């Protein structure tokens, strides 16, 4: 037996002590088919020509449960541990899809590489979602070890409710050993000065995997309630559907730690970004091939500590001059590109780049106008380092705004129903929400000042809350007939003057006749309102 190991996680810089593990060679293994690189690269070239999403892995359908595969061990404190591993001899990375995932309170699952020095953060019962699936980030190795620890009394529950259904062997991207996935040298890191004015938007953009083998880019997008609902905008052609939405894994803040000089060999090589911040799973909300958009709602909120933001958007028919594109070319670290021009052309924005470019894997990424608001997402085009070709972004915000909730954006991005032409980005790290009074009925919502004012509301200040009751309407005082704020003799005189009539001001009880009943109510309410 190996002595106790110390391993580093992919999610923190800290190290954790682990239980003594079995030697890797005695852990039962599932071996999947080798990758035929020649054939798969030829297929990728064809996919790129016809504008299909970039693939990075070869899927292998399977059915593996703790009841049918792997090995169970007894641990101290009445615990049980199940271990299994998967292997592809010539893969660059591995990722896993669990078609059934329902972890009990006592259970946790980690995914490691074969040397146990790389670990994805523990998955627990908090990762149980309504869709019942769990898809993991990549392990940068040709094999992955699955380890579940659970109370002995819940071993059977785990065996019946955890099923590995997809083993995905990576052959490109995500810093593979051969450098496939490094983007073109002309691209510009977001840490370069070009990105200096875009830090309300840069953290909203992420690269994601789908079904364990496809990849695109997308962005968190704000809504009029500014309630941080995790809506994620991407392209329809990337393939997020009601059948595949649960398989999405979005990586946040995957960017180089310094500005690599554009055009240099450094800029054209692998970066040093981290995959440690990720969100798994989603529910597709709206999609349409016209303007090529998909809006999906992530199954959990990104950790507040990651600093993820929500991009604003505009329904305008003009980009107002120079904006930017922020994206992940070829699954590489996040880049920023600046247009030479962008103009509307039917259902698309026609964009030519003056700085940077896009590549396969950038699909679904946002195009921003000069006001830093999303106006569409990357559909297609042939731009690349070394050419001056154009790209095309679907004009989803403007042209797919109204209609059925399943094929338009307004139902999701405008829950307040204020129908604005645009809203700004939401950066929870630099501003506080406050109570916004809407109308005169006492309606209140906690949002940002700029959006409160844009919607015609009254902002009560940063840090205020609807719970404080500041938007409640002033109390009515029906007995105050003359409106001076007090019920007294002057009101009696006014009531007597209207006796027997239907005067609405003097008809305190609203029965249509000014009489004794109104006089009695007035006397009962005597004094200040």
Characterize the bridge pairing of strands 29-31 and 79-87. parallel
Per residue in 384-443, pLDDT tens?
A: 999 999 999 999 999 999 999 999 999 999 999 999 999 999 999 875 678 888 777 677
Instruction: Specify the pLDDT at position 175.
Output: 64
DSSP state string for 96-113: EEEEEE---TT-EEEEE-
Per residue in 184-242, pLDDT tens?
A: 999 999 999 999 999 999 999 999 999 999 999 999 999 999 999 999 999 999 999 99
Helix (H) or strand (E) holding 490: helix 489-497
Query: Is 6-31+57-170 a domain of CATH 2.60.120.290?
Result: yes
**C-alpha span between 473 and 496 (Å, rounded):** 30
Kindly state the tokens that stand for 159.
């065996």
Name the band, by pLDDT with cuts 50, 70 and 90, for residue 2: very low
Candidates 127, 176, 217, 237; catalytic one: 237
CATH topology of domain 193-207+216-399: Thrombin, subunit H (2.40.10)
Asked if residue 456 has pLDDT above 70, the reply is no
Candidates 363, 396, 408, 479; catalytic one: 363
For residue 163, what are the CA distances in angstroms to 111, 124, 409?
14, 15, 35
For the entire predicted model, the pTM comes to 0.79
Kindly state the tokens that stand for 367.
């195009």
Name the band, by pLDDT with cuts 50, 70 and 90, for residue 475: low
Per residue in 246-261, pLDDT tens?
A: 999 999 999 998 999 9
**C-alpha span between 387 and 390 (Å, rounded):** 9
Instruction: Specify the pLDDT at position 448.
Output: 65
**C-alpha span between 372 and 312 (Å, rounded):** 7
Query: Can 372 be counted among the known catalytic residues?
Result: no
DSSP state string for 287-322: EETTTTEEEEEESSPPPGGG---BBEEE--S---S-
Largest CA distance in the chain: 101
Name the band, by pLDDT with cuts 50, 70 and 90, for residue 17: very low
Per residue in 76-128, pLDDT tens?
A: 999 999 999 999 999 999 999 999 999 999 999 999 999 999 999 999 999 99
Which of the 8 DSSP states describes residue 511? S
- What is the Cα gyration radius of the chain? 29
Find the mean pLDDT for residues 505-526.
86
Closest CA to 272 of 289, 255, 291, 288: 255
Query: Can 363 be counted among the known catalytic residues?
Result: yes
Residue 425: burial class (beta carbons within 10 Å; 0-12, 13-18, 19+): buried
Instruction: Specify the pLDDT at position 1.
Output: 29
Say if residues 221 and 286 touch (Cβ distance below 8 Å): no
Candidates 127, 245, 292, 414; catalytic one: 292
For residue 487, what are the CA distances in angstroms to 165, 492, 504, 521?
75, 8, 17, 10
- Which residues make Cβ contacts (< 8 Å) with residue 340, sequence separation at least 6? 352, 353, 354
Domain ranges, ordered by start, for the chain: 6-31+57-170, 193-207+216-399, 431-473, 486-528
């Amino acid at each position: 037996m190996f002595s106790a190991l110390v391993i580093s996680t992919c999610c923190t810089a800290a190290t954790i002590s682990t239980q003594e593990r079995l030697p890797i060679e005695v852990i039962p293994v599932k071996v999947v088919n080798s990758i035929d690189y020649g054939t798969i690269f030829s297929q990728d070239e064809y996919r790129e020509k016809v504008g299909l999403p970039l693939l990075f892995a070869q899927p292998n359908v399977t059915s593996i449960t703790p009841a049918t595969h792997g090995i169970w061990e007894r641990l101290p404190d009445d615990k049980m541990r199940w271990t299994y591993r998967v292997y592809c001899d010539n893969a660059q990375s591995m990722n896993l899809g669990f078609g059934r995932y329902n972890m009990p309170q006592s259970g946790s699952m980690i995914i490691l590489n074969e040397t146990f020095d790389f670990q994805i953060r523990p998955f627990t019962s908090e990762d149980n979602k309504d869709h019942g699936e769990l898809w993991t980030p990549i392990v940068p190795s040709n094999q992955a070890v699955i380890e579940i620890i659970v109370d002995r009394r819940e071993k059977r529950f785990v065996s019946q409710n955890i099923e590995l259904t997809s083993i995905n062997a990576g052959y490109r991207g995500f810093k593979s050993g051969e450098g496939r996935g490094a983007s073109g040298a002309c691209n510009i890191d977001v840490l370069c000065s070009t990105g200096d004015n875009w830090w309300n938007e840069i953290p909203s953009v992420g690269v994601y995997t789908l079904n364990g083998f496809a990849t695109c880019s997308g962005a968190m997008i704000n809504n009029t309630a500014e309630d941080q609902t995790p809506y994620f905008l991407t392209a329809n052609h990337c393939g997020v559907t009601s059948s595949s939405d649960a398989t999405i894994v979005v990586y946040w803040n995957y960017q180089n730690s310094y500005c690599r000089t554009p055009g240099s060999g450094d800029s054209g090589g692998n970066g040093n970004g981290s995959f440690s911040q990720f969100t798994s799973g989603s529910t597709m909300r709206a999609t349409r091939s016209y303007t090529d958009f998909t809006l999906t709602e992530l199954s959990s909120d990104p950790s507040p500590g990651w600093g993820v933001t929500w991009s604003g958007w505009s329904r305008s028919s003009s980009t107002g001059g120079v904006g930017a594109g922020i994206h992940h070319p070829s699954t590489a670290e996040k880049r920023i590109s600046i247009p030479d021009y962008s103009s509307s052309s039917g259902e698309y924005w026609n964009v030519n780049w003056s700085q940077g470019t896009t590549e396969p894997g950038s699909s679904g990424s946002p195009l921003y106008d000069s006001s830093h608001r999303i106006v569409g997402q990357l559909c297609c085009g042939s731009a690349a380092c070394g050419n001056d070709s154009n790209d095309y972004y679907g004009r989803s915000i403007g042209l797919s705004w109204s209609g059925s909730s399943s094929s338009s954006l307004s139902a999701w991005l405008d829950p307040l129903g204020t129908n604005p032409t645009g809203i700004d980005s939401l950066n929870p790290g630099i501003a506080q929400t406050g109570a916004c009074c809407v109308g005169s009925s006492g309606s209140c919502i906690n949002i940002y000042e700029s959006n409160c004012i844009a919607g015609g509301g009254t902002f009560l200040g940063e840090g205020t809350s609807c719970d404080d009751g500041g938007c409640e309407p002033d109390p009515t005082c029906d007995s105050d007939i003359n409106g001076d704020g007090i019920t007294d003799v002057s009101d009696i005189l006014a009531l007597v003057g209207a006796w027997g009539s239907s005067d609405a001001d003097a008809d305190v009880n609203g029965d249509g006749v000014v009489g004794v009943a109104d006089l009695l109510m007035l006397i009962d309410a005597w004094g200040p309102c």
